[in-house]
Homo-oligomer: A and B are copies of this chain.
Amino acid sequence: MAGLRERKKEQTRCRIEQVAMRLFAERGFDDVTVNEIAEAAEVAKVTLFKYFPSKEALVLDGVKEDFAGIVAARQDDRSVVDAVRDHCALMVRADAPEVATLVRIISGSPALLVGLQAVQAGQRAELAAVLAAEQDEITARLMAAQLMSTVTALQELFFEGRLTDDAVKRAFDLLENGMRGH
């Protein structure tokens, strides 16, 4: 297994993605054309779209986080909120330079920010499906919506470089205790 064919495919996919990210980092997402990417990666435009369904996917394919899996696989003594909180607490520490580049690229393009919303909508649906095993369906959807919107808000803070432990704490306190006091 892992014949020549599949190795080459993986190689091509990787080359396309790397070339694209380099160009995006240099000149911004909106100022790079898919024709340029294809040319620089030495593939035909059609080929590029066989590997990535859209230009946005070149960037966003790598940013999906599997909240549904995280929640489904949590310890017995942890609540749903705990599971998501634990994961977000790790986010605060992420500071690889490569992540910073990614954030810069995404933040600088309205198209990518919209695409990010779409990704998150998918995550929300997955999470709702998992929660539906423990709650009635409507509650599951409402919880998934609130959880993901909190994650998104924290992600935005992260993008602005303002994500702190305290912000995470307050976010999940609000989720757990509600807005009655506010």
Using a CB–CB cutoff of 8 Å, the interface residues on chain A facing chain B are 79-81, 114, 117-118, 121, 134-135, 138-139, 141-143, 145-146, 148-150, 152-153, 156-157, 167, 170-171, 174-180, 182
Contact = CB atoms under 8 A, between A and B. Distances in A.
19 contacts: A114-B114, A117-B117, A117-B118, A117-B121, A138-B170, A141-B156, A142-B153, A142-B170, A142-B171, A143-B182, A145-B152, A146-B175, A146-B179, A149-B149, A176-B178, A176-B179, A177-B177, A177-B178, A178-B178
How many identical subunits does the complex contain? Answer: 2
B149 A179 contact: no
Nearest to A110: B118
Contacts of A142: 150, 153, 170-171, 174
